[in-house]
Structure formats: structure tokens, C-alpha cells
Structure 1
Amino acid sequence: MATQNHFSRGLRSAALALLVATATATVAAHRRRSEEARLQERQLELEELAIRRKALAHQQRMQWELLARAIDDPSLAAVIDTYDKSIPVERRRQFFYANAWYVHLFHLHRAGILDREELYRHLREFFQSPVFREYWEASQHMRASLNDSSEEAQLGYMVDGLVRDLDEADTDEWWVVGEPPTD
């Protein structure tokens, strides 16, 4: 009987060990599949981001090309010129160029190349130009048509605040004016 009892305990121990080993292998396989799925999802996200950045870069090149044509040829500029017609043609051409720079910086930010603080610092420098300030004022009606919650409108509000800060500053050290946003 003692031998049978010993054999029975050994069999139970082996069965328990086999059960634990099977459960451990099952959990490990599940974890491995979950990790593989997570990695595959992350890879798809990165591929989607790369495609989006490539599309944004292409869009920016196209916009620059179209604006360059408008800057070079006043007859083409007439197609997109919504500025006040009392503004001289040469100044409106400068506004198109200022817009190209603004949009360029916007797309650098949107692509993740510039964070909001870096964007703010670049714009603070651009707003030292009287022509750029005039452009901003003259294009106010264009920004007014944006959806208030859009990224572009939010950026416009930030820039409006920057312009106010620059106007109200009592220092010639423009590079310290305003509080750059942090992401």
C-alpha cells in the first residue's frame, strides 16, 4: 500500500508539474502574441505617420510652387488675392511671400519638426519685420473664417497674443518678449 501511495503521490506531482508547465507556456504564448500585436500596431502607426509627413511635405512644396508663381506673375496672383485692393500690388506680392513663410513654419510645426515653443520663437523674430506685421493685419479676415477649434486657428490666436505682447513691450530686447508656450 505504501508503494501505491508513493506512486500515486508521484503521479499527482507529475500531473501538477505538467499542469503548471502547460499554464506557464500558455501564458507566455499569450504574452508573446500580445507583444507581437502591440509591435505590429506600433509599426503601422509609424508607417502612417511617415505617410502623413510625406503628404504634408508634398503639400507644402505644391503650395510654395503655386505661391511662387503668384508672386512672379500678377495675373496669376489675382486668382488668390483677397487683400484690400487699396494695398499696392508690390506690397500684396510681399504679403504672399510672408504667407509662404508663415505656412512653412506652420507645416514644420504640424510635421513635428518644430514644437510650439520653437515655432513661437521663430514667429517672434519674423514679427520684427514691419511687412510681416502688415501681412498679419491684412490677413485677419482670412483667419476669421477658420473653425475656432482648428489647429490653424489656435495657432493664429497664439500669434495674435505674441503680436500684442510685442506691441505692449517696453523693451527693445524683442527676443525676450512674451511667454513661449510649452507643449
Structure 2
Amino acid sequence: MATQKRGVRGLSAIAAAGMGLVTGTLVTLAAQRQALASLRMRLEHLEQAAQAQRDANLAHQQRLHWELLSKAMDDHELAEVLDTYEETVSAKKQRQFLFANALYTNALCYYRIGNISRDEFFGFARGILQNPIFREYWYATRPHRATLIDTSEEAELGQMVDDLLRQLEEADGEEWWVVGEPPID
């Protein structure tokens, strides 16, 4: 009889130790989950802060770009610095090209910071390509875009505009607003 009591007590002690081990493991897992959740939240916050800083930097750069273009549009001598076209353009045409650049760059910036979708950027391009001065600007700056890295976002959007311009030129001009396939986001 003494042997049976000791066996039952041994099993109870093993069961209690096992339960303690399981409880300890569960408590540790819960603490790790909570720590992981806290780390995920912190990482999300840091990523949002980094994106906000990139957007602020891009907006600041856009503002500086506009200030430089404005100075060049107002002063023919400064505009000459930006005359990198293959053909000579008049002072008037240079100012128009600078303004076309500002319009395009503004839309590009809006797209990059998420203020407009790729579809909306496409719609902007389709509309602005109706202007003959903008088309002339676009053709004149083709060599500039050729220097972009093919996989860059700016190069991809430029190629999209190139394709759209080709489609617009091939299409019946009366229904320009339906020409081209909007990109898939």
C-alpha cells in the first residue's frame, strides 16, 4: 500500500510540474506577443514618420523648383541657363517651356506624394497634351527624359505620357478624352 500512495503522489507532482511549465510557457508567449505588437506599432509609427518626412522633402523641393523656374521665366538671362534644347527657342517659347515643365513637375509631385492616383495623372497628361505648346515642350525634352533610369518612377510616367501622345496623334482628335488605356495601379 505504501508503494501505491507514493506512485500517485509522484504522478501528481509530475502533473503539477507539467502544468507549471505550460503556464510559464503561456505567460512567456503572451508577453512576447505583447512585445511584438508594441514593436510592430513602433515600426508603423516610424515608417509613417519617414514617409511624412519624404513627402515634406518632396514638397520643399517642389517649392524650390517653382521658385527657380519663376526666376527664369521672369529673367531672360537666367532662362538662357536652362536652354538645353537641341534647337534654338525664342525667349517667349523658353518661358512657355519653363511653365510647361512646372505644370508637369507639379503633377508628378502630386502623384508621388499620393495626392492624385496614377489614373488621375494619366487624365492630367491626356488633357495637357491637347495643348500644342505642351506637346512641343514634350518633344523638345525627350532627350532629357532619355537620361532617366528606365525603372525609375519618373521614367515610367514619362513613358506612359509618350505612349499616350502617340495614341492621341493616331486617334481622331474629336474624342481625345477617351484615347488611351488608363494605367493599372
Above 0.5 in TM-score?
yes
1:19 paired to 2:24: no
Aligned to 2:109: 107
The Cα shift of 1:4 comes to 4.2
Q: Against the structure 1 CA distance between its residues 85 and 168, is the aligned structure 2 distance closer, same or farther, given a 3 Å change threshold?
A: closer
Q: How many residues align?
A: 183
Q: Compute the TM-score of the two structures, normalised by the length of structure 1.
A: 0.92
Structure 1: 5+ residue runs without aligned partners? none
Aligned to 1:88: 90
1:76 paired to 2:78: yes
Alignment of 1:166-181 (within 5 A): 166-181=168-183
Aligned to 1:98: 100
The Cα shift of 1:3 comes to 4.7
The Cα shift of 1:87 comes to 2.2
The Cα shift of 1:7 comes to 3.7
- Partner amino acid for 2:72? A
The Cα shift of 1:44 comes to 1.2
Aligned to 1:158: 160
The Cα shift of 1:98 comes to 0.4
Which segment is superposed worse, 159-168 or 29-38?
29-38
Which segment is superposed worse, 111-120 or 89-98?
111-120
1:142 paired to 2:144: yes
The Cα shift of 1:117 comes to 1.4
Q: Deviations over 1:102-125 (max 9, x none)?
A: 011111111122222111011111
The Cα shift of 1:14 comes to 2.2
- Partner amino acid for 2:53? I
Structure 2: 5+ residue runs without aligned partners? none
Distance 2:110 2:43 in 1: 26
The Cα shift of 1:145 comes to 2.0
Alignment of 1:40-55 (within 5 A): 40-55=42-57
